[in-house]
Amino acid sequence: MAREGWAEDVRSHLAVASVGGSTLRMQSTEGGVKRAREFLISSIPLTQFSSFSDLNYADFLNGQAEALALKLPRPEDGRPNWGAARKAINIFMRLCAMNKDLHQGFNLVSIEPYLEVPLDSHVVKKIDREIGSAYAKNFRIKNLTSQLSSEIQSAATKIAMDKGLHRYELDVLYWNSASLI
């Protein structure tokens, strides 16, 4: 089997796998999953990341979240859903970083310290439990702001450091972990 184009095939596959119906349930108007998948495929190449600093990655992530949010209007009022966009991008980046072919092929080790844990109610509840915070009390992905996301990500960074993990790896421990027991 020829492996030419393999990395791009894997990247596209992970873009589709990143955003399922449950990822964006009640987060966007009809067609949101398709629009998010198309955005991830067309707008997030992995070739650029090996030279990124933390500020480069933060700027990139903020810009991409704003752009994708415009494609994910909230069903109740049509406003851009920044939280859902950020979640979709972070899930995609986590899957790429954990994939052996993409991790090595695109030197994603260089951005692992900057990757965020994808936020949802499962993850936020676990963060609260670990540090005694109360973020989950009123947490809704569609109401997530940049400031609140930053606060929760800072808490996740401390937890990850204590566990000897990168922040994005907490998703493996936290997301839907109750169903694994």
Q: How confident is the model over 32-45, as pLDDT tens digits?
A: 999 999 999 999 98
Dump pLDDT digits (tens) for 59-114: 999 999 999 999 999 999 999 999 999 999 999 999 999 999 999 889 999 999 99
- The per-residue pLDDT for 24 is 85
| Alpha carbon 29 to its chain's center | 20
- The per-residue pLDDT for 70 is 97
pTM (2 d.p.): 0.92
| Alpha carbon 40 to its chain's center | 11
- The per-residue pLDDT for 63 is 97
pLDDT tier, 9 (very low <50, low <70, confident <90, very high otherwise): very high
